[in-house]
C-alpha cells in the first residue's frame, strides 16, 4: 500500500540502515505502507531515503551502498542531521554466524545485539591494544542500545520462542503474498543447504560447496530441527572493517570475545546514535561463505524488526527522549606503538606480504581503501598534505604519516571525513 501524503522530517522517529540491495528490497517489501510523498530535505544531504510505516511508526530507510563501519557512521551522522527527531536506529541485514555449544546458530537464524559480558551489544573486534604477555585487549566498548528496545525485545521473548518464530514466518509469507515476484529469491533455501564445516577445512573452489560436500568427515553433524522456522539469538555482535572468512579466526573471536555474529557496520552506527543491530545469518564466517542464503537471511532479520516495531505502541516512541550522541568508552587515544600492533594484527589475519610499515599504498590496501594515484591525491587534499608533488616519494611519506596520525586519533579506524 502506498500513500502520497507529504510528511515533514519531524514525522519520522524511527530509522533503519542497511547495506545490500537485497536487504533494502526485503525492508521495503515489509513496510505496511510506503510513503511516496517525500519531505523537504537539505540540498546538502548525501543520503537517499525510502519512507514508510510499520504499525504505528513512520520509518525512514537508507542504504550505505558499501560495507564498513566508517561509511556506516557517515550515513548515520547524515541521517540524524536530516531527521532531528529520530529516536533510534535499526541496522538490519545479513551477518556471519558463530555457532557454539551454548548457541545452536544456523543459517537463516536471526541474531540481535544484546549487552552482556561487559560489552554494550556490539564490540569492535579489530580494535584494541597488545599487552607485554601477548594478550590482546579490546579497548573500544560501545554504548548499550536504548532501554526501550531491549525492554520490548524481552517482551517479545516473554510471548514464547515458538510464537515469535511464527510471527516472523507470517511476516515473510505476507511479503511474498504481496510480492509474488520475490518468492523464488527470498524463500527458505532448505535445511539440506545448511552445512557447517570444521574450522580448519578450507573451501575447495567454485561458487558453491558441492566439491566440499564430498568429504563427509569435514562436516559437523548437528541434530535436525523439528521445524524449519528461524530461531532468534541474543548476544554480542562483533563489528570490524574487514570481512571474516576464516573458520579459525571466527572461533578465536568466539573464544576471546564471546561474540555470536560478525558484521561490518554495527560499530559505525553505535558511534553515531543509539540503535539495535539485527542480523540474519547467511554464512558461518568461513571460507565457504557464498550468497545463497543472503536473501532469506535478510528477510528474516527484517521480519524480526517488524515484529519488534509492531509490539511497541506509537506513544511510547513519541515520549522517548531525543537521541543522545554516545561516545566510545576508551581509556586513551592510541600511541603509535599500539596502532602498529593493531595494524600488524590485521595484516597477520587479513593481509599477505603487505609492506604497510613503509608504503602508503600498502597501508591503504590494508585498510581496504583505494590506493591509486587519484585516490591518494584526494586523500592528501582532505588531510591537508602539501609536501612534494603528486606521486613523489616526499608526498607519499607525508601522506602515510598523516594517515597514521589520523588513525591514532580515531583508535585505529578511519574517521568519516576521510571518505573512500
- Can you give the pLDDT of all 420 residues of the chain as single tens digits? 666 576 888 899 999 999 999 999 999 999 999 998 888 887 777 889 999 999 999 999 998 866 655 667 778 778 888 888 888 889 999 999 999 999 999 999 999 999 877 677 888 876 655 445 545 555 555 567 888 899 999 999 999 999 999 999 999 999 999 999 999 999 999 998 888 878 777 766 766 766 555 676 677 788 999 888 999 999 999 887 777 888 888 898 898 889 999 987 766 666 566 789 999 999 998 877 888 999 999 999 999 999 999 999 988 888 776 655 444 444 456 778 877 877 776 676 555 567 888 889 888 887 767 788 988 998 898 888 988 899 899 999 999 999 988 888 766 665 434 444
In a domain, 409, yes or no: yes
- One domain for residues 8 and 115: yes
In a domain, 218, yes or no: yes
The three grid cell numbers given for residue 132, joined into one nine-digit string: 607485554
Residue 203 CB: number of other CB atoms within 10 A? 17
- One domain for residues 300 and 233: yes
**Closest CA relative to residue 123, chosen from 69, 79, 86, 71:** 69
Residue 89 CB: number of other CB atoms within 10 A? 28
- One domain for residues 279 and 365: no
**Closest CA relative to residue 53, chosen from 3, 127, 125:** 3
Residue 115 CB: number of other CB atoms within 10 A? 17
Helix (H, G, I), strand (E, B) or coil at 325: coil
Contacts with 47 (C-beta within 8 Å, 6 or more apart), sequence order: 62, 75, 78, 79, 82
- One domain for residues 273 and 362: no
Q: How far apart are CA 38 and CA 52, in angstroms?
A: 10
In a domain, 326, yes or no: no
Helix (H, G, I), strand (E, B) or coil at 260: strand
- One domain for residues 108 and 153: yes
Contacts with 213 (C-beta within 8 Å, 6 or more apart), sequence order: 195, 219
pTM for this structure?
0.75
- One domain for residues 276 and 411: no
Q: Which domain holds residue 207?
A: 2-319
The three grid cell numbers given for residue 53, joined into one nine-digit string: 510505516
Report how many domains make up the chain.
2
In a domain, 325, yes or no: no
DSSP state of 320: S
From 319, 345, 378, give the residue that closes a domain.
319
- One domain for residues 300 and 380: no
The H or E element spanning position 168 is helix 161-178
Contacts with 201 (C-beta within 8 Å, 6 or more apart), sequence order: 212, 215, 218, 247
Radius of gyration of the chain (CA): 22
- One domain for residues 232 and 311: yes
In a domain, 400, yes or no: yes
Amino acid at each position: 500500500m502506498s500513500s502520497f501524503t507529504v510528511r515533514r522530517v519531524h514525522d519520522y522517529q524511527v530509522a533503519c540502515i542497511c547495506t545490500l540491495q537485497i536487504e533494502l528490497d526485503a525492508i521495503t517489501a515489509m513496510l505496511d505502507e510506503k510513503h511516496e510523498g517525500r519531505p523537504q530535505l537539505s540540498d546538502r544531504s548525501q543520503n537517499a531515503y525510502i519512507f514508510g510505516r510499520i504499525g504505528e511508526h513512520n520509518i525512514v530507510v537508507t542504504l550505505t551502498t558499501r560495507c564498513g563501519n566508517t561509511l556506516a557512521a557517515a550515513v548515520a551522522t547524515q541521517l540524524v542531521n536530516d531527521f532531528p527527531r529520530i529516536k533510534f536506529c535499526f541496522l538490519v541485514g545479513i551477518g556471519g554466524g558463530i555457532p557454539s555449544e551454548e548457541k545452536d546458530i544456523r543459517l537463516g537464524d536471526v541474531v540481535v545485539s544484546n549487552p552482556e559480558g561487559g560489552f554494550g551489544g556490539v564490540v569492535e573486534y579489530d580494535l584494541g591494544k597488545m599487552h607485554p604477555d601477548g594478550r590482546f585487549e579490546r579497548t573500544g566498548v560501545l554504548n548499550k542500545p536504548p532501554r526501550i528496545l531491549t525492554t520490548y525485545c524481552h517482551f517479545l521473548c516473554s510471548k514464547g520462542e515458538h510464537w515469535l518464530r511464527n510471527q516472523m514466518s507470517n511476516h515473510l509469507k505476507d511479503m511474498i503474498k504481496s510480492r509474488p515476484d520475490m518468492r523464488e529469491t527470498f524463500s527458505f533455501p532448505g535445511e539440506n543447504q545448511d552445512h557447517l564445516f570444521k574450522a580448519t577445512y578450507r573451501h575447495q573452489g567454485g561458487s558453491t560447496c558441492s566439491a566440499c560436500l564430498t568429504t563427509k568427515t569435514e562436516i559437523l553433524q548437528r541434530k535436525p530441527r523439528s521445524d524449519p522456522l528461524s530461531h532468534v539469538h541474543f548476544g554480542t555482535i562483533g563489528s570490524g572493517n574487514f570481512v571474516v572468512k576464516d573458520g579459525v579466526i571466527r572461533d578465536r573471536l568466539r573464544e576471546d570475545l564471546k561474540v555470536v555474529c560478525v558484521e561490518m557496520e554495527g560499530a559505525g552506527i553505535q558511534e553515531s546514535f543509539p540503535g539495535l543491530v539485527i542480523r540474519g545469518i547467511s554464512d558461518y564466517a568461513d571460507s565457504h561463505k557464498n550468497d545463497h542464503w543472503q536473501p532469506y537471511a535478510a528477510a528474516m532479520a527484517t521480519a524480526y524488526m517488524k515484529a519488534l516495531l509492531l509490539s511497541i505502541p506509537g506513544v511510547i516512541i513519541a515520549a522517548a527522549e531525543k537521541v543522545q550522541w554516545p561516545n566510545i568508552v576508551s581509556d586513551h587515544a592510541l600511541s603509535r606503538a599500539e596502532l602498529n600492533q593493531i595494524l600488524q594484527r590485521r595484516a597477520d589475519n587479513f593481509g599477505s606480504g603487505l609492506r604497510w610499515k613503509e608504503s602508503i599504498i600498502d597501508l591503504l590496501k590494508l585498510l581496504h581503501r583505494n590506493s591509486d594515484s587519484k585516490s591518494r591525491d584526494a586523500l592528501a587534499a582532505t588531510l591537508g598534505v602539501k609536501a612534494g608533488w603528486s606521486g613523489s616519494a616526499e608526498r607519499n611519506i607525508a601522506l602515510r604519516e598523516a594517515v597514521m596520525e589520523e588513525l591514532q586519533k580515531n583508535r585505529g579506524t578511519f574517521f568519516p571525513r576521510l571518505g573512500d
